[in-house]
């Protein structure tokens, strides 16, 4: 009798165990389906309203994300775009809003991420300088126009973007005049390909354009790296002569600094997990 009871109990336990294993498989499948269905879908600015968004503090991405959400607390500002991207990978934010070219670099390095574009309007980049410094502004505008006419601006950009990367490095003329002294450029070297670090050197599109301008005008160039949100203050207080950092011309910024003629177009995009 004891043997029959034991056998019945054992059979019941095995049946329960089998059922449990079956449920575990279904649960795992359901979880995977839930994770897949919870992927962020964004087709317009309105779709950002309820999301947690990572941005680089003080950038156009910061301001546009803040305008898009229902509550400003949904926007998480980071000192570096790379930190915002890491927060996305760690699940702390739903997406990142940032300039298209740095976004491409981040996605190249992270195959679990993708870019959603066509959400925001095109913006214009320019160099900023202290209010009232019209003489320097006019000098820069003249130099920019000449560099554009000579094809130098296109060559500089093609050295960092597209199919000819590394084929058109900018080099200062051997006999470049430096008699006018030194100009200090404020930037944030966390915005590849516009400005970033290779070893101890700050390089990128903006760094090369600034060097080409100084070569034309007779200045030595000194580049100072700082937080992006500190650039306008540094320029407006005269600590730096100008700022170049993939900076969008906006009415708010024009209240505190002068802007040169624009030299590039860009747009903000959204980075999400695949």
Give the mean model confidence (pLDDT) for residues 147-151: 98
pLDDT tier at 38, thresholds 50, 70, 90: low
Residue 131 has pLDDT above 50, yes or no: yes
Give the mean model confidence (pLDDT) for residues 177-188: 98
Q: Mean pLDDT over all residues of the chain? A: 89
Give the mean model confidence (pLDDT) for residues 24-31: 45
Beta bridge partners of 258: 129
- pLDDT above 90 coverage of the chain, percent: 84
Q: What is the pTM of this model?
A: 0.79
Give the mean model confidence (pLDDT) for residues 243-264: 97
* Contact of 147 with 213, CB cutoff 8 Å: yes
- What's the pLDDT at 19? 43
Let me know if the fold of 45-122 is the same as that of 127-246. yes
pLDDT tier at 28, thresholds 50, 70, 90: very low
| CATH class, range 127-246 | alpha beta
pLDDT tier at 40, thresholds 50, 70, 90: confident
Work out the number of other CB atoms within 10 angstroms of the CB of residue 58.
Answer: 19
Q: Which CATH number fits domain 45-122: 3.40.50.300, 3.40.190.10, 1.10.150.170, 3.40.50.1110?
A: 3.40.190.10
- Segments making up each domain of the chain, as ranges: 45-122, 127-246
Q: How many Å apart are CA 270 and CA 133, to the nearest integer?
A: 36
Residue 24 has pLDDT above 50, yes or no: no
Q: How many Å apart are CA 46 and CA 42, to the nearest integer?
A: 8
Give the mean model confidence (pLDDT) for residues 33-54: 80
Residue 14 has pLDDT above 60, yes or no: no
Q: How many Å apart are CA 103 and CA 224, to the nearest integer?
A: 24
């Amino acid at each position: 009798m004891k043997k029959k009871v034991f056998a019945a109990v054992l059979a019941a336990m095995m049946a329960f165990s089998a059922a449990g294993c079956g449920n575990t498989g279904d649960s795992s499948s359901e979880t995977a389906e839930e994770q897949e269905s919870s992927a962020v879908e964004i087709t317009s600015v309105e779709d950002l309203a309820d999301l947690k968004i990572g941005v680089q503090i003080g950038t156009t991405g910061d301001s546009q994300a803040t305008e898009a959400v229902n509550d400003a607390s949904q926007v998480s500002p980071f000192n570096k775009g790379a930190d915002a991207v890491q927060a996305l990978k760690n699940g702390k934010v739903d997406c990142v809003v940032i300039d298209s070219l740095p976004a491409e670099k981040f996605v190249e390095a992270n195959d679990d991420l993708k870019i959603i574009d066509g959400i925001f309007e095109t913006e214009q980049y320019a160099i900023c300088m202290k209010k009232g410094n019209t003489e320097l502004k006019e000098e820069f505008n003249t130099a920019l126009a000449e560099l554009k006419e000579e094809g130098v601006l296109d060559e500089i950009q093609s050295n960092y973007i597209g199919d000819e990367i590394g084929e058109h490095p900018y080099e200062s003329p051997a006999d470049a005049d430096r008699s006018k002294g030194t100009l200090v450029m404020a930037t944030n070297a966390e915005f590849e390909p516009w400005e970033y670090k290779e070893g101890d050197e700050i390089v990128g599109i903006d760094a090369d354009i600034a060097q080409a301008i100084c070569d034309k005008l007779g200045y030595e160039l000194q580049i100072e790296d700082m937080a992006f949100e500190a650039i306008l203050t540094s320029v407006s207080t005269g600590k730096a002569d100008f700022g170049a950092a993939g900076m969008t011309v906006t009415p708010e910024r024009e209240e505190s600094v002068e802007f040169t003629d624009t030299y590039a177009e860009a747009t903000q995009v959204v980075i999400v997990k695949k």
